[in-house]
Amino acid sequence: MNTTINAATLLVKALENEGVEAVYGVPGEENLDLLEALRTSSIRLILTRHEQGAAFMAATYGRLTGRPGVCLATLGPGATNLMTGAGYAQLGAFPLLMITGQKPITTSKQGHFQIIDVVGMMHPLTKFTKQLVNVNRIPANVREAFRQAREERPGAVHLELPEDVAAEPVEEQTAPVFEISHAHLPEAGTRVIEEAAAMIRGARYPLLLIGAGANRNRVCNALREFVAASGLYFFTTQMGKGVVDETGPRYLGTAALSDNDYIHCAIARADLVINIGHDVVEKPPFFMEHGGKKVIHVNFSSAIVDNVYFPQLEVVGDIAASVRRLTAALGPLDRDFSYFQRVKEHLDAHLREKTDDDGFPLKPQRIVADVRRVVPDDGIIALDNGVYKIWFARNYLARHPHTILLDNALATMGAGLPSTMEAARLYPGKRVMAVCGDGGFLMNSQELETAVRLGLNLVVLIIKDGAYGMIRWKQYSLGLPDYGLEFGNPDFALYARAYGASGHRVERAADFAPLLEHCFRQGGVHLIDVPVDYSENMKVLVDELKEKVCLV
């Protein structure tokens, strides 16, 4: 028997077929058929208070699960509000599908009201963007969108469903959904693995770099075995944190700064960097120079050459397979790594500094240390963007992948709270917290209402300095006068309470960790306002490091 459904229902059936559990968004009248189709489906609609919140949540679902997250917006203003999320997913390599509405494409009595070229706008920020016009092709278009969003390098895709197309009838039997194919990634050839092993054997100070592309569940185990078997020392980019246990004996730091940190002493000494999964979307962890150290690029795809990145050998193919085969080809390395060991001792001593400092406002080192004390190894902290991100990247030692979510690709402000909400939604049993500045938090703070409505358990930490601190620090580093970056703040504790969340303010350093513990134990949505002493940025991140250590 033939069943007649409409195109919106067919689209939702295709989403169900892909295993979609939730769609995040702010619908408009152009999405009403889709909304109705969602109502009667197995997919949950998660309403947010801004399309950015929806896109960040969906992209974080993609980041944490490897499966595309789906968000929904109307045409025009709804679609433009998704764009920061599109850039976030595309640069960050988080699989994301955005669905937007559009006015009818055949006849419409509304002139050009709210109509902009959304598909055209999406072009530079997505891997695939398409207006759905032929109802019978919807299952194929959806399958293709998911395939591209997920395929290495993952990213953002977009489908536009015009109002009249959404309402069009279709016989369900004539437009079946597609079985999901499983693609196996190509593997690097034997010759290049042998070449890479020979280069590593030939190097005196080989050093391993773990970047964002290595932060895939499949790659982590292979990398751990590689580090253990080879004895190589490693450092990470911000988005490679936690792939290999950073409390282990071979961790030399996270390159949160591009130069002048402890790790750069080790990099300066290295004659070869084996770069697993780094690509140029992240701020350079170090700068390559002509005639300088050599680099082996191990990634899913070949290197995008840049003035600061032009590797000599490229091992292209599934990273997990490349690393496993490299482990076997290399065996244990017999090297004198005592220089790296000494850098590590200096780094470890530095990371212990001021972690118990009782000063108020709190030192950034104390804040990071207290968070680390209260958040267990499998807890998740998600950071917005501000200068505290550098402190957390350097000082917070992660032991498992995806336990510190940093965005070092688009590095947008405003994603910290929504990404935390998605982590809390996915893992209700874990301790999950957002780390935000007083600038970035207010860019999407309205999502506190969503968090309370969803009944999430999470803590939002506001690191308060009354300024756009990151920019102020850069201004200072450039020798410019302190100008134009200070602002006022609401009473954050009261602000949280207005949303039905719990609001707290720290007034002594000693109170912070117990308060954080209390918030996690109590459950629900908590906000903690912590005043910070950013004079530490000027001292530690600018002046001291290199001279102190590199001569060891």
Ligand X SMILES: Cc1ncc(C[n+]2csc(CCOP(=O)(O)OP(=O)(O)O)c2C)c(N)n1
Is 470 a residue that touches ligand X (CB under 6 A)? Answer: yes
Residue 509: CB minimum distance to ligand X, A: 18
Is 412 a residue that touches ligand X (CB under 6 A)? Answer: yes
Stretch that binds ligand X, among 277-285, 379-387, 426-434, 521-529 (CB under 6 A): 379-387
Binding mask 7-46 for ligand X (x = CB under 6 A): ----------------------------------------
Alpha-carbon gap, residue 366 to 35, rounded angstroms: 47
Is 469 a residue that touches ligand X (CB under 6 A)? Answer: yes
Scored b (16 or more CB within 10 A) or e, 491-502 reads ebbebbeebebb
Is 502 a residue that touches ligand X (CB under 6 A)? Answer: no
Residue 471: CB minimum distance to ligand X, A: 5
Alpha-carbon gap, residue 243 to 236, rounded angstroms: 9
For residue 131, the cross-strand partners are: 160
Stretch that binds ligand X, among 51-59, 271-279, 342-350, 464-472 (CB under 6 A): 464-472
CB 73 within 8 A of CB 47: no
Pick the closer one to ligand X by CB: 461 or 525: 461
Tell me which residue of 489, 482, 432, 427 sits closest to 462, measured CA to CA: 489
**Tokens describing residue 523:** 């459950």
Q: Pick from 413, 423, 509, 528: which binds ligand X (CB under 6 A)?
A: 413
Q: Pick from 121, 122, 323, 463: which binds ligand X (CB under 6 A)?
A: 463
Distances (CA, A) of 320 to 216, 352, 479: 9, 34, 45
Binding-site size for ligand X (CB under 6 A) equals 19
CB 407 within 8 A of CB 385: yes
Is 385 a residue that touches ligand X (CB under 6 A)? Answer: yes
Is 499 a residue that touches ligand X (CB under 6 A)? Answer: no
Residue 72: CB minimum distance to ligand X, A: 22
What is the Rg, in whole angstroms, of the alpha carbon atoms belonging to the chain?
Answer: 24
Binding mask 427-446 for ligand X (x = CB under 6 A): ----------xxxx------
Is 471 a residue that touches ligand X (CB under 6 A)? Answer: yes
Pick the closer one to ligand X by CB: 59 or 200: 59
475, amino acid identity: Q
Binders of ligand X in range 296-355 (CB under 6 A): none
Is 529 a residue that touches ligand X (CB under 6 A)? Answer: no
Q: Pick from 57, 320, 387, 448: which binds ligand X (CB under 6 A)?
A: 387
296, amino acid identity: I
Pick the closer one to ligand X by CB: 438 or 447: 438
DSSP class of 363: P
294-299: strand order across its sheet:
251-254, 234-236, 206-210, 272-276, 294-299, 313-316
Is 395 a residue that touches ligand X (CB under 6 A)? Answer: no
331, amino acid identity: G
- Side-chain-side CA neighbours of 18 within 13 Å: the count stands at 27
Q: Where are the beta strands (DSSP E) in 123-261?
A: 128-131, 156-162, 169-171, 206-210, 234-236, 251-254
Pick the closer one to ligand X by CB: 375 or 411: 411
Stretch that binds ligand X, among 128-136, 227-235, 461-469, 493-501 (CB under 6 A): 461-469
Pick the closer one to ligand X by CB: 241 or 472: 472
Provide the 3-class DSSP secondary structure of residue 93: coil
Alpha-carbon gap, residue 450 to 468, rounded angstroms: 26
Q: Pick from 234, 468, 512, 520: which binds ligand X (CB under 6 A)?
A: 468
Q: Pick from 465, 529, 533, 536: which binds ligand X (CB under 6 A)?
A: 465
Pick the closer one to ligand X by CB: 322 or 365: 365
Tell me which residue of 532, 541, 533 sits closest to 435, measured CA to CA: 532
Residue 532: CB minimum distance to ligand X, A: 7
CB 458 within 8 A of CB 434: yes
Pick the closer one to ligand X by CB: 317 or 440: 440
Q: Pick from 24, 300, 388, 495: which binds ligand X (CB under 6 A)?
A: 388
Distances (CA, A) of 250 to 72, 209, 268, 328: 44, 12, 17, 19
Binding site for ligand X (CB under 6 A): 385-388, 411-414, 437-440, 463, 465, 467-471
